[in-house]
Amino acid sequence: MTEIHYISTRGGGDALGFEEALLTGLARDGGLYLPHAYPRFEAGELDAMAAMPYAEVAARIMAKFTGKDMGFDALLRLCQDAYAGFSAPEITPLKRINDQIYLCELFHGPTIAFKDIAMQVLARLFDVALEKQGKRAVILGATSGDTGSAALEAFKGREMVDIFILYPDGRVSPVQEQQMTSVIAEGAYAVAVAGDFDACQDIVKRLFGDLALRDRLGLSAVNSINWARLMPQIVYYVVSVLALRGQGREISFAVPTGNFGNIFAGYVAMRMGLPIKRLICASNRNDILARFFEGGVMERRAVEPSLSPSMDIQVSSNFERLMFELLGRDGAMTRGLMEEFAATGKFTLSRDMVRDDIDLFWGFRADDAETLAEIARTWAESTILLDPHSAVGVAAARAYGTSHDELVVALACADAAKFPDAVEKAVGMRPPLPPHLADLMTRKTQKLTAKPEPKAVATLIENKKRGARI
């Protein structure tokens, strides 16, 4: 078995094994963990995967990143259990929109959003690691909508974990908030914070940066800052390519993008040897990423609420991972640019500073009017109902396809029923929730509130967490 270890994007600290990186989440120097090298698919390996069920493909891919800490057999059992409750047997089925565009549906898990695909696996990985080490963990995360409900659903009732999810009060959809606050279980809390998602994410990072507090509470992360959150997301890129490659055309992906984790998983798949032509970074009116790919300038502006709230982000944490790669894995340079961005809200990367990997990405933006128009167009042409985030992805696929010949897979991030107001505005029809969530809006709820200050959130955790580490 090939040994694998994890390093920080900022160059500090010792390399960690998979299990340590899983439980640590964010590196102690403030960086994000990445494998020291990307494993490659061996000759014939992708061909063999084409005939395997989804859970087996997932286990084989993830075993490349877990090393001696968890082998294929254990991962296969874990993945089979994680995906047993999904409503689609294919887990991430493909639907044809037209001769060029396909939709990869990622929302057939318990909270009808793509975050379930990774979160159901992550919760089980935590169980294994914490039981092995005889520890408890306090999970702290921030959400712009879907991560929170997926995390609370996956981790609720687990004996070794308390979980606190911060979300921007009034800036998630009613369905998203109801999903989070209707999880009523000991040790599982949704916490409303005044401000936007970036404010919530900043609190999380600052608390992780207080190393004494972090150690005392046993803090760990389930946001996509945790490498183990990205690892299961590589799988649906592989499965999609294997399903479509028989058409003899190159394949690109259009990815609705907020925190840059989903699209970075596609980049990792490409680095492993998956034949991907291009990754289309699809943004809403909060277009910091599209602007970067157009001109090399990362410049923060005020977050503007939109119909696709999970993408209402101006500080995309996972972009640091791509920066690290573009800069030739220079941790010191990455740290310097991140510190410059934190201080000034801006940095610039010139063409001569970066690797040619930058050419893999193509930026796109769609405002609310364009989002509604895409929902209406896709429904009229294909009788496929898109949520606003997925609509941004499909709009990006259409725009890209006007000047490129390859097939484009647009990632559908959520069931349309999670955003009924926007969908109804676009097509005049209110999408119903699936049967297992039919009573969602009448369920009892509980939520905590906290001031948008690290100290207030730390105090809340101290008061609410169960017991002490064992």
Determine whether 464 is an active site residue: no
Taking residue 253's Cβ as centre, other Cβ atoms within 10 Å add up to 30
**Residue 347 to residue 376: CA distance in whole angstroms:** 38
List b or e across 443-452, with b for residues whose CB sees 16 or more CB atoms inside 10 angstroms. eeeeebebeb
Question: DSSP letter string over 24-50?
Answer: H-B-TTS-BEEESS---PPTTHHHHHT
Sign of the C-alpha dihedral computed for residues 280, 284, 287 and 289 taken in this order = negative
Question: DSSP letter string over 330-358?
Answer: -HHHHHHHHHHHHHHSEEE--GGGS-GGG
Token code pair at residue 58: 């997932």
Sign of the C-alpha dihedral computed for residues 428, 257, 16 and 220 taken in this order = negative
Beta pairing partners, 32: 26
**Residue 443 to residue 31: CA distance in whole angstroms:** 39
Q: Which of 64, 68, 95, 115 is catalytic?
A: 115
**Residue 109 to residue 241: CA distance in whole angstroms:** 21
Output the CA torsion 201→304→429→256 (10° steps).
-60
List b or e across 106-145, with b for residues whose CB sees 16 or more CB atoms inside 10 angstroms. bbbbbbbbbbbbbbbbbbbbbbbbbeeeeebbbbbbbbbb
Q: Are 369 and 425 in contact (CB under 8 A)?
A: no
The edge-to-edge listing of strands for the beta sheet with 219-220 is 219-220, 137-142, 161-168, 188-193, 448-450
Q: Are 320 and 8 in contact (CB under 8 A)?
A: no
Beta strands 219-220; 188-193: pairing state: unpaired
Question: DSSP letter string over 263-308?
Answer: HHHHHHHHHTT-----EEEEE-S--HHHHHHHHSEEE-------S-
* Residues recognised as catalytic: 115
